[in-house]
Amino acid sequence: MTNHIAKQIHLISRPSGMPSHEHFKLVEVELPAPDAGEVLVKNHYMSVDPYMRGRMRENAVYAEAYALNSVMYGGAVGEVIESADPSLQAGDIVLNGAAWQDKFVAKANTLSKLEPFDPDQLSLYLGTLGMPGLTAYVGLFKFGEPKPGETVFVSAASGAVGANVCQIAKLKGCRVIGSVGSDAKAKWLLDECGVDAVINYKTCGDLTQALADAAPDGVDVYFENVGGDHLQAALNVMNPYGRIAACGMIASYNNAEPAPGPNNLMLIVGKKIRINGFIVSDHGDMRDQFLSEMVPWIQEGKIKSRETVFEGIDNAIDAFLGLFSGENFGKMVVKLD
């Protein structure tokens, strides 16, 4: 049994505004052989997600802050290479929280063994069948609570979470309006995903007007991924008793200084709106129900997934940074081997 060399990405300083390569470092470490109860895993895919930006702050509130000069973490799908635990065998596919490295040793009971419905689509377990997909499902049903025939507005609508919100809401009989930052994304949502109307927020002019035009009956549910102008427009166009599922506000993640919020928050009172901030990790109890609906939808072609795949851990930082420039189309993943 030879020891393995793992490549890891460490956070070496905390970015104030937009992160760049200087804040990160590629480090090679020699892994020990797995002790009893442990396994050695080779990651096939790792996830980069906008929420990771918050973990780079010292005062992270959403999820624990990354420590400096140590490997970051996040979702990944890997394969067991060596096992010193009876619950897992070499060749088993495992969902794990040990991203930002291509190999690692961990206790077997910290990993979730997958029975992939298609071994060629492992990366789906980081997107449509993973945390972003469950986020869409939880946010929509637990907090948005759309009724058939209601109008659902989704920002970052072609993203890893948003595209699932759009398509699930369509399957549940809603009228769906998405906001995206490119015409290619708009076209995909309209042509492939059956979304009813899409706004390109970069070219539409006044966002409130564009949303009002796209939603002649008003907005009943807003799935919030962006914040700022999008929240302001959504409040302007929402119907009384509208619900906002607040999943993220990516517009603010890289602000070095806090930016002012929407100027129309009084509409929360006036329209009797409910807003729920949420984090998917509180709602693991919905995972079985989620997978029982989502896997068949994928197999039947009712839910489409787009991915942007970067190759190799050397490109993981670029993949992460691409989340904030809108370079990704759908779920951004890094293929590690």
**Nearer to a copy of itself by C-beta: 85 or 229?**
229
Tokens (6 digits) for 322: 């691409």
Cα distances (Å, whole numbers) of residue 303 to 164, 198, 316, 321: 7, 18, 27, 27
Give CA separation, 24 vs 52, 89, 247, 318, in Å.
13, 33, 26, 11
Q: How far apart are CA 324 and CA 333, in angstroms?
A: 14
Closest approach, Cβ 329 to a copy of itself, in A, equals: 24
8 A C-beta contact, residue 138 and residue 161: no
**CB 316 to a copy of itself: min, Å:** 24
CB 100 within 8 A of CB 316: yes
Q: CB 284 → a copy of itself: shortest distance, Å?
A: 14
In the complex with a copy of itself, which residue's Cβ is closer, 96 or 164? 164
- Comparing CB distances to a copy of itself, the nearer of 144 and 248 is 248
Interface residues with a copy of itself (CB under 8 A) are 54, 61-62, 224, 227, 231, 240, 246-249, 252-253, 258-279, 282
Closest approach, Cβ 280 to a copy of itself, in A, equals 11
- For residue 8, CA distances in Å to 44, 51, 279, 316 come to 14, 19, 26, 10
What 3-state class would DSSP assign to 160? coil
Write down the least CB distance from residue 263 to a copy of itself, Å.
3
Q: Smaller CB distance to a copy of itself: residue 23 or 271?
A: 271
How far is CA 247 from its chain centroid?
A: 9
Q: For a copy of itself, which is the closer residue by CB, 282 or 311?
A: 282
Nearer to a copy of itself, 216 or 270 (CB): 270
Rounded to a whole number of angstroms, the minimum distance from the CB of residue 154 to a copy of itself is 16
